[in-house]
A and B are shown apart, each in its own frame.
Chain A
Amino acid sequence: MPFVPHTPEDLKAMLDVIGVTTLEDLFADIPESMRPKSFDLPEGMSEMEVCSHLEQLAAKSRTDLVSFLGAGFYNHHIPKAIDGLISRGEFYTAYTPYQPESSQGTLQAIFEFQTAVCRLLDMDASNASVYDGGSAIFEAMMMAVRATKRSRIVVSEAVSPIYRTMLASYTSNLNLEFITVPHDNGTTDIEKLKAAIDDRCAAVVVQNPNFFGNVSDFTELFEHAHAHKALGIISVYPVMQSVLKTPGEMGADIAVAEGQSLGQPLSFGGPYLGMMACTEKLIRQMPGRIVGRTEDLEGREGYVLTLQAREQHIRRAKATSNICSNQALCALRALIHMCLLGPEGLIRTAELSMERAHYLADRLTAIPGVELLNDAPFGNEVAVRLPISAFEAVDKLVERGYVAGVPLGRYYEDMDDVLLMACTEKNTFEQVGILAEMLGGIL
Chain B
Amino acid sequence: MKTVFAQSVPGRTACLPPMPEERAEAFIPANLLRGKRPALPEMSELDVVRHFSRLSRLNYGVDSNFYPLGSCTMKYNPKFTENVAALPGFANLHPLLPQIKSAGLYTQGALEVMYESERLLCEVTGMHAFTLHPMAGAHGELTGAMLIAAYHKDKGNKKTKVICPDSAHGTNPASAALAGFEVVNIESKDGLIDPAALDAVLDDEVAALMMTCPNTLGLFEKHLPEIVEKLRKVDALLYYDGANLNAIMGKMRVGDVGFDVVHLNLHKTFATPHGGGGPGSGPVGVSERLEPYLPISRVDKLRDGRFFLNYDYPKSIGFMAPFYGNFGVVLKAYAYILRLGGEGLKRVSEYAVLNANYMRKLLEEHMHIPYNRICMHEFVASACDQQAACGVRALDIAKALLDKGYHAPTIYFPLIVKECMMYEPTETESKETMDAFVQDLIEILESAKTDPVALQDAPVTMPVRRLDETKAARSMILIDPA
Are A50 and B80 interface neighbours, CB within 8 A? Answer: yes
Given known A30-B220, A268-B323, A293-B472, contact A406–B96 (CB-CB < 8 A): yes
B339 proximity list for chain A (CB < 8 A): 2, 44-47, 50
Once the chains bind, are A315 and B174 in contact (CB under 8 Å)?
A: yes
Residues of A within 8 A of B (CB-CB), count: 205
Q: For B99, B141, B146, B428, which residue has the most chain A Cβ atoms within 10 angstroms?
A: B99
Question: Is residue B20 within 8 Å, beta carbon to beta carbon, of the partner chain?
Answer: yes
Stretch in A149-157, A294-302, A432-440 with 4+ CB within 8 Å of B = A294-302
Whether A93 contacts B179 by the Cβ 8 Å rule is: no
Chain A residues positioned under 8 Å from B83 (CB to CB): 51
What is the bound-complex CA distance between A212 and B316, given in angstroms? 28
Given contacts A172-B149, A249-B34, 13 further A-B contacts (CB under 8 A): A3-B427, A94-B275, A97-B276, A108-B58, A112-B4, A265-B91, A269-B323, A325-B274, A327-B278, A344-B13, A345-B14, A355-B22, A395-B102
Chain B residues with CB under 8 A of A75: 92, 94
A4 surroundings in chain B (CB, below 8 A): 347-348, 351, 427-428
User: Which A residues, 381 to 419, have Cβ-Cβ distances below 8 Å to chain B?
Assistant: 391, 394-395, 398-399, 403, 406-407, 410
Enumerate chain B residues within 8 angstroms of A258, measured Cβ to Cβ: 322
Q: A313 at the A/B interface (Cβ < 8 Å)?
A: yes
B358 in contact (CB, < 8 A): yes
A61-B109, A95-B67 given as contacts; is B43 within 8 A of A339 (CB)?
yes
- CB contacts (< 8 Å) of A341 on chain B: these are 14-17, 40
Q: Which of B27, B93, B149, B250 contacts A268 (CB 8 A)?
A: B93
Q: Binary interface profile of A, 21-64, with partner B (CB < 8 Å = 1, else 0)? A: 00101111111011111111111111100110111111111110
Nearest chain B CB to A171 CB, angstrom units: 9
Name the B residues within 8 Å of A377 (CB-CB): 27-29, 32
**A61 engages B33 (CB within 8 Å):** no
Task: Flag if A41 contacts B220 (CB, 8 Å).
Answer: no
Contact (Cβ within 8 A) A242 B123: no
List 8 interface pairs A-B (beta carbons < 8 Å), by A numbering. A11-B354, A35-B252, A37-B126, A47-B80, A93-B74, A108-B1, A126-B479, A131-B279
Give the 3 A-B CB pairs with smallest separation, nearest first. A89-B63, A58-B89, A269-B323
- Residues of B close to A296: CB separation below 8 A: 464-468
| Neighbouring A residues of B351 by C-beta, 8 Å | 4, 6, 23
Closest to B342 in A: A41
Measured CA separation A204–B86 after assembly (Å): 39
Whole-angstrom distance from the CB of A338 to the nearest CB of chain B? 5
Say yes or no: A351 contacts B20, CB within 8 Å.
yes
Residues in B neighbouring A60, C-beta threshold 8 A: 89, 106-109, 112
A414 to B328, CA, bound (A): 35
Q: Does A268 contact B17, Cβ atoms closer than 8 Å?
A: no
In the bound assembly, the distance between CA atoms of A99 and B61 in angstroms comes to: 12
B123: contacting residue among A2, A10, A41, A63, CB under 8 A:
A41
| A268 in contact with B90 (CB, 8 Å) | yes
Of B28, B112, B277, B327, which contacts A106 at CB under 8 A?
B277
Evaluate contact between A313 and B38: CB separation under 8 angstroms. Answer: no
Chain A residues, Cβ within 8 Å of B473: 292, 306-307
Bound complex: CA of A84 vs CA of B472, how far in Å?
32
Chain B residues within an 8 Å CB radius of A106: 59, 276-277
Q: Is the CB of A101 within 8 A of B33?
A: no
> When chains A and B are docked, how far (Å) is the Cα of A35 from the Cα of B139?
29
Pick from A160-168, A226-234, A364-372 the stretch touching chain B: A160-168
Enumerate B78-113 residues with CB–CB distance to A below 8 Å. Answer: 78, 80, 82-97, 99-103, 106-110, 112-113
Please state if A163 and B322 are interface contacts (CB–CB under 8 Å): yes
Q: How far apart are the CA atoms of A399 and B101 in the complex, in Å? A: 11
- Does B224 contact A304, Cβ atoms closer than 8 Å? no
CB contact list, A260-304 vs B, under 8 A? 265-273, 283, 289-298, 300, 302-304
Instruction: Flag whether B77 is at the interface (Cβ < 8 A).
Output: yes
Q: With A166-B322, A172-B317, A342-B40 in contact, is A325–B136 under 8 Å at CB? A: yes
Residues of A within 8 A of B337 (CB): 41
Residues A352 and B18 in contact, CB atoms below 8 Å apart: yes
Point out the residues of chain B lying under 8 angstroms from A55, CB to CB: 87, 89
B317 and A169 contacting across the interface, CB-CB below 8 Å:
yes
Once the chains bind, are A306 and B275 in contact (CB under 8 Å)? no
> A184 within 8 Å of B by Cβ?
no
